């Protein structure tokens, strides 16, 4: 009886043991879109989500987008002048 050789999968987790695992819920349509991107690029859904998160952070750290950042965040803290309105 022939035995199949065990092939170890290259795992991102194996290369980055300090990474944090997260559980995220998506609306069904968004999830299907993410799956489509992953399939098209031949990568995992997790890779697509990490890539999108990195791009979001890089974009949001640009100084010219500070006003866009504050407007896009629903939980952005109120400024001192806006909190004094009556």
Give the domain ranges of the chain.
26-63
**Proportion of the chain above pLDDT 90, given as a percent:** 47
- Closest by CA to 20, choosing from 50, 64, 42, 60, is 50
pTM: 0.54
Convert the pLDDT of each residue in 23-56 to its tens digit: 999 999 999 999 999 999 999 999 999 999 999 9
- Closest by CA to 34, choosing from 13, 52, 16, 17, is 52
Q: Rounded distance, CA 69 to CA 62, Å?
A: 10
- Give the residue with greater pLDDT, 81 vs 51: 51
Torsion (CA) 13, 17, 19, 25 in degrees, nearest 10? 40
What is the structure's pLDDT at 44?
96
Q: Where residue 17 falls among pLDDT bands split at 50, 70, 90?
A: confident
């Amino acid at each position: 009886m022939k035995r199949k050789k065990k092939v170890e999968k290259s795992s991102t987790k194996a290369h980055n043991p300090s990474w944090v695992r997260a559980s995220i819920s998506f609306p069904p349509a968004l999830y299907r879109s993410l799956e489509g991107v992953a399939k098209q690029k031949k990568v995992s859904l997790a890779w697509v989500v990490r890539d999108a998160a990195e791009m979001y952070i890089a974009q949001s750290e640009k100084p010219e987008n500070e006003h866009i950042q504050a407007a896009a965040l629903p939980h952005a803290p109120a400024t001192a002048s806006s909190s004094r309105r009556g």
